[in-house]
Amino acid sequence: MNLRQKVGQLIMVEIPGTRLTSEVEAFIRDCHPAGVALFGHNLAGPWTTAKFISDMQAVAADAGDAPLLVGMDQEGGQVSHLRYPCAELPSQMARTAASGPPAAGEAAEIMGSEMQRLGVNLAFAPVLDVNTNPANPVIGPRAFSDDPDTVAACGIAAIEGLRRAGIFSMAKHFPGHGDTDLDSHLARNRVMHSLERLREVELKPFRAAIAAGVDSICSAHVSFPALDPSGLPATLSPRIMTDLLRGELGFKGVLFSDALVMDAIAAGKATNIPPAAIAAVNAGIDCLMVLGKLSQQRQCYEMLVHAVEIGLISERRLDEAVERVQSLRLRASLPPAVTPAWPDMSHQAAATRMAQAAVTCLRDRQNLLPLTGNCSDVGVIEFASGSISPVETARNEPLGASTLAFLLGRRLPEARFLALQSDAPNALETLDAFLRDCTRVVVATRSAILDPAQVALLKHAASQGLPVIHMALRSPYDATLEPRIGTVLLTYGDQPAGVAAAVDVLLGEASASGKLPIQLEKPAQPPVLGTLPLLN
């Protein structure tokens, strides 16, 4: 390899569009990126996506490069770019509620097989964060549990499931994003736990994943003073990326950064990304998730080339990263021929089965389940949140379409329905007017723990003296927000199969057999987002 080819191994990039363009082709030929991260804006149905990936692989091969690493966030639940005709699998937390490691492994294998069929060879999964903070705005049900041993067991099962499907795994977000109260897309967190606590909780699942042969690890843009007193985020910290991860934990795979465009690193300025990229490589990162506009990514690449030329990045550090990245790329399989049969109904059936097994009845003190009799007095209220997190707004029912209203309305046509955005003008007055004609109420929240406006509306509904069934469709921590509500169902995600399963329980057509995978001991407090200033 020449220098430019070597430096290309340091970057995984974002590309525009759904088809190969001359601009994208020139970028691959000029910058020799190690891989491409696909997002929702790159996906236009399975055959178009498969052709796009195949075309990019052909360009890389023609440029003399190894197969591209083609990756995506495909965790299941809320963070899933592949939707119908692919199977939408329940969240990691829902899988734990369903059966734990068996469901985690089966779901990972299904998602992996569908990715592999398209030509995707790297899953940005599993999430190995231990979600000990109920008000965590970016992890929540993306985690398997708040118990490190459970997270470790389910994480190993997921890694093995991906491996069976021929997909590389990526454990994230090292050394742990589970006890944070800010979203790294928007700000930087500082976790103040002791070294002893970090070893017992946050690090345990990663240690297990390394022993299980995880292919890659993704860093967190989070500061851990107990691990590095300088206050550097883990992505930029040699003490964390090299001394801890490589030295103490013995990780030998590829170390990726989380996206450098996140404000925890970039602080809203594209000019902050190249120097951060250089610092991350010197800290021990092998491959940088640069992302953003192609012009900005090209600029970052050129600055990395210059950094090597003038010695800011040593040739030894470069060669070390190149060797690891190339080793992974040379194991990557090229896209298979995509057959016309899609969707795979066995995958859809498995998603349904897992979602049904995950539904948890936390309490039913007034025996309101199932809904019976003439339901003309039943009011069904769905809250949609405002802008609370880029992760949370990835799917924002019911304002676009409502699976709950569609499924429940077919079976209870006499019931009344209200879809209400929590921050809408006059939301409280609208809710009040709706409740006047109800004697029983079903309230569906979506991560209200992150949305004080939803909390206020939920509390208002509970204060009217009506029997209330609360369906927490995303975060199970919503169940702690209003203790006066005596009946609570948890789904750990609002993908269609999960909502359908909750409707079946609501109507008595299925039982709620899910096991609570977290501790719900006291009312959780909604976070005040964005209060911690970015570190320099």
What residues act catalytically? 185, 258
Pair 221, 265: CB distance under 8 Å? yes
The continuous run of DSSP H or E covering 189 comes out as strand 189-190
Residue among 404, 409, 405, 416 nearest 377 (CA):
416
Classify residue 270 as exposed, middle or buried by CB count within 10 Å of its CB (0-12, 13-18, 19+).
middle
Give residue for tokens 């997921």: 158
Name every residue whose Cβ is closer than 8 Å to that of residue 263 and which is 6 or more positions away in sequence: 184, 185, 186, 187, 188, 534
Taken in order 365, 517, 133, 399, is the CA torsion positive or negative? negative
Pair 33, 6: CB distance under 8 Å? no
The secondary structure of 448-491 as a DSSP string is GGG-HHHHHHHHHHHTTS--EEEEE-S-GGGGGS-TT--EEEE-
Instruction: Provide the 10 A C-beta neighbour count for residue 369.
Output: 17
Angle in degrees, CA 192, 194, 198, rounded to 5 = 95
Distance of alpha carbon 536 from alpha carbon 264, whole angstroms: 10
Distance of alpha carbon 524 from alpha carbon 32, whole angstroms: 47
Distance of alpha carbon 368 from alpha carbon 314, whole angstroms: 67
Q: How many residues does the chain have?
A: 536
Distance of alpha carbon 134 from alpha carbon 31, whole angstroms: 42
Q: Computed over its alpha carbons, how large is the radius of gyration of the chain?
A: 23
Name every residue whose Cβ is closer than 8 Å to that of residue 84 and which is 6 or more positions away in sequence: 343
The continuous run of DSSP H or E covering 384 comes out as strand 378-384
- DSSP secondary structure code for residue 10 in this structure: T
Beta-bridge partners for 189? 222
Q: Crossing angle of helices 403-411/496-506, nearest 10°? A: 30
